[in-house]
Amino acid sequence: MLNSQAVYLFILVLLTVASGSRSCGGQAGGDARSGADPVFTDEPVVRVLILDTTERITLIPHDDWRLTSEGHSETWGPGDGPLDLSAVSGRISISRMGSGGSTSAAQMEDVPAEPRLVSKSDSGTEMHTDTDKKTDTDTDTGMGIGIGIGMESDVQAEARIILPEDMQPEVLTFEGVRDSATLLIRDVPYGVGWWWEGKEDRIYEGRVHVYAVDGDRLQVVVELPLERYLKGVVPYEIGGDSPMEALKAQAVAARSEAVRALTTGLYSGPNYDLTSDVESQVFSGNHRRTDASDRAVDETESLILSANGQPVNAYYASNCGGHSELIRNVWPDRPDPLTYHNALRDSDERVQMDLSNEVRLKEWIHSEPDVFCNPALEPGLPGWSRTNFRWQREFTGDEISSTLAGLCNSDCGRLVDIVPLKRGPSGRMYEARFDFEHGSIIITGELAIRQLFRPSLRSSAFISTRDGDTWILNGAGWGHGVGMCQSGAVAQALQGRDFITILMHYYPDTQVLRSY
């Protein structure tokens, strides 16, 4: 029979477990921070900028939506066909595809159906907050009209009026009649300014706002709860078929980024809180969602990374090349001296190596270091990791001189040398001098250096050599290298580590807490 002290201890353990269920870990194996106050009382809503364009946009409903503007409201659904919107003198011009306010089946035959939720995706991953995303576009959109467009093959669409013909509002709002309602937006740009740049049709849910701004521009903003937003982020950022614990780590990091942005306005504009591209985090709507990525969001609901009770910018990059970078060398205008913002080797031996030295960096790039993100040591890593841990680019003298010609106001002649002026601990260059036959140019900024080249370089951790008329660039990693290495996170998950352990590896001295 238990004595009174044993009973007391048993009850105390139960109470501790109950209170700790609202907080997960400090450091791996550390104390829970159950006493910290949540950032929000309820799940926040986020407004995500999807499009900012002077071009016409086309919206196609998969369900019934309530369309409202300036006191006018009516239902718009599959039987009504697509809407074309454009900005004219600060107002939204609305037109139906086809003549006479209706859309024929011939005009609708290429309308994609709602993508089904698949169990796996071939999408890749990438970094975060600055500029590099995967390019795989395995769209599962099932071309056709098998979604109840509401017409026979030779029958005109149902002729419901979509707003008065003379109405040109400044703002349009679309809200699904059902919470799960979706619509398709044609030709959404992705990877703008990068080698994977393109356009694709994407499916969205939530409330959709269209704004006419600055005369001839349209902004499309999707408003939806935080967790539903994350289901459109996680599979694009790390790949929907990644191991579950890596998906969970990505969900917590992405949620932390979003919460930090909501509380600081880091990426906000007058009509939105976040962008849908690599400036903040890539949000692709329902485009690449999988059962696994949805589950990762659900099973980490509300969890964020925190330091001193405040949400942190949980930056992440596709592949660090084996060593992470200091935030101040990537974003000097973000003075955020949080404890995890350090530069360390991506291994259990978390030491800072000084790869700013040219000789050591050359040895590092041409080596096979014992780090998590090295695909030679972890054969289970996906293709995007295998091709980006180490990379090589070659240019002829004419090619590289032509690519860099925009640096000069006049004819600088051919490129003579690339001189690193400042490198960080990971070897990433953030100031460089480009010497030409007739002058020199100094470029500052890790991203600016990468984007000088066409196509842009995967990282600025590279060394350059000349072989006759050929320039050879050998580099390490993909992305800015700050925070979590997504390749390393996948490798650790494949080795059986849980998401808390993975997060504490990349964000030491932070705690995992609930945000609401």
Kindly report, residue by residue over 35-71, the tens digit of the pLDDT.
Answer: 578 999 999 999 999 999 999 999 999 999 999 998 8
Domains in the chain, number = 2
pLDDT at 152 exceeding the cut of 60: no
| Model pLDDT for residues 396-409, shown as the tens digit of each residue | 888 888 877 777 76
Structural domain includes residue 49 = yes
Q: Is 432 helix (H, G, I), strand (E, B) or coil?
A: strand
What CA–CA distance (Å, rounded) separates 323 from 370?
11
Structural domain includes residue 435 = yes
Q: What single letter denotes the amino acid at residue 186? A: R
Contact 381, 319 (CB under 8 A): no
- Residues 394, 263, single domain; the answer is no
What CA–CA distance (Å, rounded) separates 377 from 269?
44
**What number is the average pLDDT over the span 344-352?**
92
Structural domain includes residue 322 = no
Contact 476, 459 (CB under 8 A): yes
Q: Which domain holds residue 101?
A: 45-299
- Residues 90, 190, single domain; the answer is yes
Which parts of 203-243 fold into alpha helices (H)? 226-231, 234-238
Instruction: Give residue 338's pLDDT band: very low, low, confident or very high (50, 70, 90).
Output: low
- Residues 279, 396, single domain; the answer is no
User: Which of 299, 314, 330 corresponds to the end of one domain?
Assistant: 299
Percent of the chain at pLDDT > 90 equals 61
**What number is the average pLDDT over the span 223-227?**
98
pLDDT of residue 475: 98
Structural domain includes residue 263 = yes
Q: Does an H or E element contain 200, and which?
A: strand 198-205
- Residues 267, 410, single domain; the answer is no
Of 252-256, 280-284, 411-415, the poorest mean pLDDT is in: 411-415
What CA–CA distance (Å, rounded) separates 211 from 202?
19
Instruction: Give residue 142's pLDDT band: very low, low, confident or very high (50, 70, 90).
Output: very low
Phi, psi of 513 (to 5 degrees): -130, 165
CA distances from 79 to 146, 210, 281, 293 (A): 12, 21, 34, 32
- The residue with tokens 């400090």 is 26
- Residues 291, 394, single domain; the answer is no
pLDDT of residue 455: 85
pLDDT of residue 414: 85
pTM, to two decimals: 0.82
Cα–Cα nearest to 94, from 57, 53, 54: 57
For the record, the structure tokens of 325 come out as 């970078």
- Residues 227, 129, single domain; the answer is yes
Instruction: Give residue 223's pLDDT band: very low, low, confident or very high (50, 70, 90).
Output: very high
Q: What is the dihedral sign for C-alpha 68, 72, 77, 80?
A: negative
For the record, the structure tokens of 242 come out as 């990644």
Structural domain includes residue 222 = yes
What CA–CA distance (Å, rounded) separates 219 from 50?
7
- Residues 95, 207, single domain; the answer is yes
Of 76-85, 165-174, 230-239, 414-423, the poorest mean pLDDT is in: 165-174
Structural domain includes residue 30 = no
**What number is the average pLDDT over the span 328-357?**
83
Cα–Cα nearest to 230, from 180, 312, 177, 304: 304
- Residues 190, 295, single domain; the answer is yes
User: Which of 260, 276, 299 corresponds to the end of one domain?
Assistant: 299
